[in-house]
Amino acid sequence: MAVLTSVVAAQSPTRFALDASHTTVKFTLADVLHTVHGTFRLKRGALDLDASSGKLTGEIVVDAKSGDSGSAIRDRKMHGEILESDRWPEIVFRPDRIEGTVAALGTSSVQVHGVFSIHGADHELTVPAEIEMDATHWKAAVHLAVPYVNWGMKNPSTFFLHVSESVDIDLIAEGSVTQP
């Protein structure tokens, strides 16, 4: 379980509010001809950390309908057939614990465990996170591969176009550090 140091431990519990204007969610999907890059927008997010136990609660909510790959035709297919974003308009990560040491100041590498909800189903996972802290501000970088086909979503491949069965997600989140 997490052992958290100095200011973070002394100020337990600690709230990490996400700032939507400074948070990016990018996706990358490889196919045989080229790689598709796109973005989603953060709807809201806040995480509460109990440093003494490593318990991390809250949620990061992404607007599934905001997915944008730069191609209207591709995006219609993504929203209508793969994500079915009218039916499931949010993608949510609800962490339950953090493993590793978060330094009160500077950069730390940790593992965040929780439930990733997408397309109407919950999936337990653990993701690596790089966290940079100062007294009032934090920034985190998270990378994960979402095996969307294994998770029940349609593979958009056609006879001529073959895409990967997983999509890479890169979240760069930042915001304020406070005590709730």
Among all chains, which residue has been given the structure tokens 């927008």? 41
Domain residue ranges of the chain, discontinuous segments joined by +: 6-178
pLDDT band at 180 (very low <50, low <70, confident <90, very high): low
Could you read off the pLDDT of 18-32 as tens digits, one per residue?
999 999 999 999 987
Instruction: Tell me the DSSP string of the chain.
Output: -----HHHHHT-SEEEEE-GGG-EEEEEEEBSS-EEEEEEEEEEEEEEEETTTTEEEEEEEEEEEEEE-S-HHHHHHIIIIIS-TTTS-EEEEEEEEEES---SSEEEEEEEEEEEEETTEEEEEEEEEEEEE-SSEEEEEEEEEE-TTTTTPPP---SS--B-SSEEEEEEEEEEEE--
Could you read off the pLDDT of 89-136 as tens digits, one per residue?
999 999 999 999 888 899 999 999 999 999 999 999 999 999 999 989
The residue among 30 and 2 whose pLDDT is bigger is 30
Could you read off the pLDDT of 35-83 as tens digits, one per residue?
999 999 999 999 999 888 999 999 999 999 999 999 999 999 999 999 9
Fold adopted by 6-178: Lipocalin (2.40.128)
